Structure 1
Amino acid sequence: MTLVSVVRDYIDRMLQDISGMKVLILDPLTVSIVSVVYSQSDLLKKEVFLVETVDNMSKESMSHLKAVYFLRPSSDNIQKLRRQLAAPRFAEYHLFFSNILKIPQIQVLADSDEQEVVKQVQEFYADFCAIDPYHFTLNINANHVYMLPTVADPHSSQIFCDRTVDGIAAVFLALKKRPVIRYQRTSDIAKRIAQETAKLMYEQESGLFDFRRTENSPLLLVIDRRDDPVTPLLNQWTYQAMVHELIGIEDNKVDLRNIGKVPKDQQEVVLSSVQDDFFKANMYENFGDLGMNIKRMVDDFQQIAKSNQHIQTIEDMAKFVNNYPEYRRMHGNVSKHVTLVTEMSRIVDERKLMLVSQTEQDLACNSGQAAALEVVSNLLNNESVSDIDRLRLILLYALRYEKDSPVHLMQLCNKLSRTAKYKPGLVQFLLKQAGVDKRTGDLYGNRDLLNIARNMARGLKGAENVYTQHQPLLLQTMESIMKGRLRDVDYPLVGNHFQQGRPQEVVIFIVGGTTYEEARTVALHNAANPGTRFFLGGSVVLNSKRFLKDLEEVQRISKSTSV
């Protein structure tokens, strides 16, 4: 069972048992939840002829249609529903909620249904975005709040925690599991979320979570993004992660309207492992292999079309696709991937990312402060390197060598301030948020004897690809769980529960956001180790731009509150 299949099953059950023409009514969050697992054609097959949002509905009477509502059970949504039930537009109302309804909310709905148009009210626990089979996000807009102390903004902090607890609870209700819960000791926000989740599962709604016990309890581990600030700062070179880093992915959709001459049908494209077989087969491939695989598909079609064109470059492929409208109709999927790879190649060349990324990987994976200082300093002087890439290089250098030579770090910061648009103090602010004194895990593998030996072995073997050497800290955490070596002192259990044996299901939730590199790590691990299945979730899906935006926002708030 995967997260995608669970959510699809919920939507199937909502729609298939209601005969006739239907309108589907969603809120902004359930739009995302549905769109990542269900296509427009899927909806049409279920006789859904109209999709509206609860915030922006027409007033036209449609008594020939049945209304299927799928909403989060928020107070705001309940009030909107109450007003709409007072003057019904549809023949029937079928109400589905993505999480637990409170008794007073049910009473409000019952009192509002004076014309008895409501045919059913159900809870379908899909209160999360299943963007991949083992990867989910909560799409929390104010993601930066996780870095703020509670006293700085108690209202936003409570909203963040409540939404996170709701999302985690829905995942376990969908999987029909009640977990043992652990958290990262050094993170106040991880501890708070873990404790509030335990309170919901074991006290407030214990009946809902009273599933059949298994020999080895599932595990929920709540950790903090700041324990690994390196992964979201790195350029990426595998397909899905690279698209998000260089262009951006939102709810499995990529906006291509700003990249030049793109056909109308390609201005927003879907990248879904469920809906796109080529993407599913190539989403974790490195950039070089991806280009070869796309070329092979284009070559195959050329042969079918009896074309004698000779294709050597990505530009040749793009011209070929544009010259064959029938190819786009038959293989629009390939056209989409050619467009993406062409645009990413342009960005890589323009920003000199092969040069920049090699240094990033060295900073993340290899020691050698003197050599790193020289290379970073030279890149800061290179006018072809963009401002954001210069900033990321400094941040990666600072995280690696913060204790080695503060004077050299200050020199680099001074150089950055002269050569790039730079918000003063951001480097030191990152170290204050996520420096070595704040972190639990062995980020650079230089504390623990086993990790030092592992790094030495990897160095002796050599990296298969210099641009994909980095392995996120999450991999170490997963290996520790698999081997029963997750230290209680670093990751305490909530309450009086204890972990017995190796868990067969593990949900790791990263407060502050996941990355597609980490999602790839989980998917590859699950494919190679069928005994233990990992799920990865977070408050958002990060790329370096979003991570830096969150950091800058917290820095701004911190400055304003300290004045």
Structure 2
Amino acid sequence: VALKRMLNFNVPPVKNSTGEPVWKVLIYDRFGQDIISPLLSVKELRDMGITLHLLLHSDRDAIPDVPAVYFVMPTEENIDRMCQDLRNQLYESYYLNFISAISRSKLEDIANAAIGANAVTQVAKVFDQYLNFITLEDDMFVLCNQNRELVSYRAINRPDITDTEMETIMDTIVDSLFCFFVTLGAIPIIRCSRGTAAEMVAVKLDKKLRENLRDARNSLFTGDTLGAGQFSFQRPLLVLVDRNIDLATPLHHTWTYQALVHDVLDFHLNRVNLEESTGMESSPAGARPKKKNKKSYDLTASDKFWQKHKGSPFPEVAESVQQELESYRAQEDEVKRLKSIMGIEGEDEGAISMLSDNTAKLTSAVSSLPELLEKKRLIDLHTNVATAVLEHIKSRKLDVYFEYEEKIMSKSTLDKSLLDMISDPDAGTPEDKMRLFLIYYISSAQAPSEVDLEQYKKALTDAGCNLAPLSYIKQWKAFAKMASAPASYGNAAPKPLGLFSRVMNTGSQFVMEGVKNLVLKQQ
């Protein structure tokens, strides 16, 4: 909604308006592109009057009689390029929208450039949009895609990180969360685990929200621009948790459709990129091998099959694709049958009555053709994606890994020794083996003895694994043990903790396993 308002020159779009949209150009940077692309297709942009959408730092020609909507981060180089556009008189008018709040000094730079270029009247509106987060689904968003390494688990837990770097990371996270709640139009209740990065984020976000509310005239949580969220007693709960509470889950080989696509294929911002393997055609000796075709597919909210099956176990998805294909073929055969009947010859009454009856059927079949074509497109899409996933499952024995890791995490008896799994040359890549061993190491209450550990290390090295993650997890586990050691002094009786606060405050890595078993027992 916020994006559509912005593309309509920051005026809420009128529903059912029959008038032509105002034709305009959209200029964005990489950040803006990442925010818009999962939400709006090219067709939707065109329906809103966007005839061209271009990157800010590309070579752009002047289009002097068209307004331009800019959607960019307020960085130095972006501001410089916008000032250059003003000086070159590229467009009729400029609607400047910044993804997160622009500082006063940068705003003054733009003002000076506009005065210098004699283009003050052309700068129609300047807005802070507070949209510095990427919405992938109705109930899921991520903080960033460009420079995502800067706010990753590794960035926060690097041993050589400086205080200023840590502050920058925290500010980036807080800015995105703040933007999210401004867009939502609601003040959250914040809960976090103590003594971790999550607490730093919570304190900074709390301070930022309070500062904004204190200035009633300029508060982003009042006024007509937002819904009645700020007066509602139904405030959202924001739970901030440190990843260290549950390190095993991101390493786990999963079995649901969406998680498998994310794990084994190139899947970013709802788009999956596949390499289509060309058939083994006999090519003349000495000929160049054929290039692999790259294909991209969008898995979005409008894809009904994806919405229905993304959380389903993979075998169920394969069955559903087959069922969809059969129902599509039945509909297609029906259309073909009607076509052949329509070619009836002879004028007898039976044929004519049959003809009128089938005409109605054919009319309905023709009207359902667009729907049928869309169904065919989705079936082809998911057949290709599911086949690509299946190839990975077969070649890496991911089903075996999934079952084995489940048993480790649920403390069940193992039917095969871990050493055999690691030493099996056909089972998985070195990364798969390392992930399996790390889950075992994290989940075992008692760390393996030095002799056993040396054996495992040798097997992992022979399998081609890099042992750096293991040394990190070893240190992390030692720290976690120290942190969770009881520190009770005097005769103060321990306070009984509720389950949720136990989950939030324990440094233990076993907390989430119970939840996981509940969810996955249904496999």
- Give the superposition deviation at 1:83: 2.5
Structure 1 position 181 matched with structure 2 position 222: no
Change (3 A) 1:271 1:265: farther
Match of 2:456 among 398, 412, 419: 412
Which residue is 2:156 aligned to?
A: 146
Q: Which letter maps to 2:441?
A: A
Change (3 A) 1:295 1:6: farther
Moved more, 152-161 or 331-340: 152-161
Structure 1 position 124 matched with structure 2 position 129: yes
- Give the superposition deviation at 1:281: 1.5
CA RMSD of aligned residues (A): 3.3
Change (3 A) 1:27 1:489: closer
- TM-superposition CA deviations, 1:419-466 (whole Å, max 9, x none): x2222342131232366826999xxxxxxxxxxxxxxxxxxxxxxxxx
Which residue is 1:257 aligned to?
A: 275
- Structure 2 SS opposite 1:65: coil
In the aligned structure 1, how far is the partner of 2:503 from the partner of 2:388? 47
- Give the superposition deviation at 1:19: 4.7
Moved more, 111-120 or 96-105: 96-105
- Give the superposition deviation at 1:375: 2.4
CA contact (8 A) 1:128 1:171 kept: yes
Which residue is 1:514 aligned to?
A: none
Change (3 A) 1:92 1:389: same
In the aligned structure 2, how far is the partner of 1:436 from the partner of 1:228? 15
Structure 1: where are the runs of 5+ without partners?
A: 308-325, 442-479, 492-516, 522-563
Which residue is 1:490 aligned to?
A: 505
Which residue is 1:449 aligned to?
A: none
Which residue is 1:136 aligned to?
A: 141
In the aligned structure 1, how far is the partner of 2:479 from the partner of 2:278? 43
Change (3 A) 1:439 1:389: farther
Change (3 A) 1:301 1:485: closer
Matches within 5 A, 1:79-228: 79-114=80-115, 115-116=119-120, 117-138=122-143, 139=145, 140-142=148-150, 143=152, 144-149=154-159, 152-187=161-196, 189-203=197-211, 206-207=214-215, 208-211=219-222, 212-215=230-233, 217-228=235-246
Moved more, 328-337 or 352-361: 328-337
- TM-superposition CA deviations, 1:39-78 (whole Å, max 9, x none): 11101111211111112232x2111321111112334322
Structure 1 position 397 matched with structure 2 position 436: no
- TM-superposition CA deviations, 1:107-131 (whole Å, max 9, x none): 2222222312111112222210001
In the aligned structure 1, how far is the partner of 2:9 from the partner of 2:311? 32
Q: Which has the higher contact order (CA 8 A, sep 6+)?
A: 1
In the aligned structure 1, how far is the partner of 2:305 from the partner of 2:375? 14
CA contact (8 A) 2:30 2:55 kept: yes
CA contact (8 A) 1:399 1:436 kept: no
Runs of 4+ in 1 over 4 A off after TM superposition: 5-19, 258-266, 326-330, 438-441
Change (3 A) 1:10 1:196: same
Which residue is 1:336 aligned to?
A: 381
In the aligned structure 2, how far is the partner of 1:213 from the partner of 1:438? 44
Structure 1 position 50 matched with structure 2 position 95: no
Q: How many residues align?
A: 424
CA contact (8 A) 2:9 2:95 kept: no
> Over alpha carbons, which structure has the higher Rg?
2
In the aligned structure 2, how far is the partner of 1:214 from the partner of 1:224? 29
CA contact (8 A) 1:8 1:37 kept: no
Match of 1:240 among 258, 271, 288: 258
Match of 2:471 among 415, 420, 428: 428
Structure 2: where are the runs of 5+ without partners?
A: 15-19, 223-229, 280-289, 335-370, 485-496, 507-514
- Give the superposition deviation at 1:301: 1.6
In the aligned structure 1, how far is the partner of 2:446 from the partner of 2:293? 52
In the aligned structure 1, how far is the partner of 2:393 from the partner of 2:72? 41
- Structure 2 SS opposite 1:305: helix
Matches within 5 A, 1:351-366: 351-366=396-411
CA contact (8 A) 2:193 2:504 kept: no
- TM-superposition CA deviations, 1:332-387 (whole Å, max 9, x none): 1211100011111111111111112111111122255xx47x52111112111121
Change (3 A) 1:440 1:255: farther
Change (3 A) 1:401 1:259: farther
Which residue is 1:294 aligned to?
A: 321
- Give the superposition deviation at 1:215: 3.4
CA contact (8 A) 1:8 1:38 kept: no
- Structure 2 SS opposite 1:267: strand
Which residue is 2:35 aligned to?
A: 33
Q: Which letter maps to 1:76?
A: E
CA contact (8 A) 1:61 1:89 kept: yes
In the aligned structure 2, how far is the partner of 1:198 from the partner of 1:439? 30
